[in-house]
């Protein structure tokens, strides 16, 4: 895979929407009066994020589909098996010993087994996945709302991003990771999914746990999640751009 949609902040600044538009936006009374927009202005990382969040309110839901709309085949993309010995052992005992560890800037760090996650209230949603490589598929996902996990671990006020560390590594030994803004974790459709189309998640689709972040592009939906780290900055993580593909030029805020 080669980056196709990578667009750096500088390129966007030079692009369709000049810096003056942002100033005009920031100066608009209606918008600055609302709290979320003020918050957004202080937090937006890129112009894309700023503009997309401005046109789509923070809590807006991604479209949900009917059972009849579910794609006959949901392609698997990117890494389709972490391939490590440790992971192979986890597959052999059906992920009975898999745990997702939640730490970093949280008041109550914790680890959750698959069983513990399945015992929590679940959410099921039928949504469309869009990959920048040019395909889409509709699938039914079941999992635990990340907001519920966050209410248990309680991020500290300084926590701004959640980094999802995955079990797969590429040929160079670089581990896949992704990150999202803490506020997006509380969106009702942001879930840690353990089922696809009513069946336990299989290895190609990210068993036993993968992120669903329905209002962003496919590469944000980290598969094989084994650790979630709350951080104040993405600087010291991987290449510093917030994700495996972002480090190769993709946009961090992949809103759709």
Ligand X SMILES: Nc1nc2c(c(=O)[nH]1)N[C@H]1C(S)=C(S)[C@@H](COP(=O)(O)O)O[C@H]1N2
Residues of this chain that interact with ligand X (CB under 6 A) are: 75-79, 131, 166, 168, 176, 204-206, 218-219, 221-224
| Nearest distance from C-beta of residue 229 to ligand X, angstroms | 15
Q: Cβ closer to Mo ion: 176 or 219?
A: 219
Q: Cβ closer to ligand X: 73 or 108?
A: 73
Q: How far apart, in whole angstroms, are the C-alpha atoms of residue 49 and residue 255?
A: 7
* Closest to 136 (Cα-Cα) out of 201, 205, 194, 73: 73
| Nearest distance from C-beta of residue 98 to Mo ion, angstroms | 24
| Nearest distance from C-beta of residue 218 to Mo ion, angstroms | 4
Pure H helices in the chain = 9-14, 19-26, 29-33, 35-43, 47-55, 85-92, 114-118, 146-153, 182-185
Residue 160's binding partner, choosing from Mo ion, ligand X, none, with beta-carbon cut-off 5 to 8 A by kind? none
Residue 256's binding partner, choosing from Mo ion, ligand X, none, with beta-carbon cut-off 5 to 8 A by kind? none
* Closest to 192 (Cα-Cα) out of 110, 120, 254: 120
| Nearest distance from C-beta of residue 161 to ligand X, angstroms | 17
Q: Cβ closer to Mo ion: 219 or 253?
A: 219
The 10 Å CB-count burial string (b at 16+, else e) for 134-159 is eeebbbbbbbbbbebbbeebebeeeb
Q: Cβ closer to ligand X: 40 or 214?
A: 214
Q: Which residues bind Mo ion (CB under 5 A)?
A: 131, 218-219
Residue 58's binding partner, choosing from Mo ion, ligand X, none, with beta-carbon cut-off 5 to 8 A by kind? none
| Nearest distance from C-beta of residue 214 to ligand X, angstroms | 13
Strands 225-231 and 190-196, bridge-based pairing: unpaired
Q: Cβ closer to ligand X: 78 or 145?
A: 78
Residue 75's binding partner, choosing from ligand X, Mo ion, none, with beta-carbon cut-off 5 to 8 A by kind? ligand X
Residue 102's binding partner, choosing from Mo ion, ligand X, none, with beta-carbon cut-off 5 to 8 A by kind? none
| Nearest distance from C-beta of residue 112 to ligand X, angstroms | 18
Could you give the 3-state DSSP secondary structure of residue 252? coil
Q: How far apart, in whole angstroms, are the C-alpha atoms of residue 226 and residue 93?
A: 16
| R_g of the chain computed on alpha carbons | 18
Q: Cβ closer to ligand X: 3 or 54?
A: 3
CA–CA–CA angle 32, 252, 114 (5° rounding): 110
């Amino acid at each position: 895979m080669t980056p196709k949609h990578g667009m750096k902040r500088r390129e966007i600044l030079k692009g369709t929407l000049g810096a003056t538009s942002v100033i005009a936006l920031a100066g608009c009374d209606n918008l600055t009066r609302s709290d979320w927009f003020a918050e957004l202005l202080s937090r937006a990382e890129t112009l894309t994020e700023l503009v997309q969040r401005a046109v789509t309110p923070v809590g807006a839901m991604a479209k949900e589909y009917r059972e009849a709309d579910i794609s006959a085949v949901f392609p698997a993309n990117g890494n389709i098996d972490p391939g490590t010995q440790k992971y192979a052992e986890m597959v052999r005992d059906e992920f009975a010993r898999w745990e997702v560890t939640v730490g970093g800037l949280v008041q109550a760090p914790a680890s959750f087994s698959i069983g513990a996650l399945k015992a929590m209230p679940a959410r099921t949603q039928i949504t469309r996945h869009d990959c920048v490589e040019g395909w889409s598929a509709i699938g039914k996902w079941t999992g635990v709302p990340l907001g519920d996990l966050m209410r248990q671990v309680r991020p500290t006020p300084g926590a701004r991003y959640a980094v999802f560390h995955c079990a797969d590594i590429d040929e160079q030994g670089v581990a896949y990771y992704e990150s999202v803004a803490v506020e997006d974790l509380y969106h009702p459709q942001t879930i840690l999914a353990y089922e696809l189309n009513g069946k336990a998640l299989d290895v190609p689709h990210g068993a036993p746990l993968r992120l669903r972040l329905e209002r962003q592009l496919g590469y944000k939906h980290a598969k094989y999640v084994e650790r979630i780290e709350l951080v104040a900055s993405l600087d010291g993580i991987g290449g510093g751009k917030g994700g495996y593909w972002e480090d190769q030029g993709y946009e961090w805020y992949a809103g759709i």
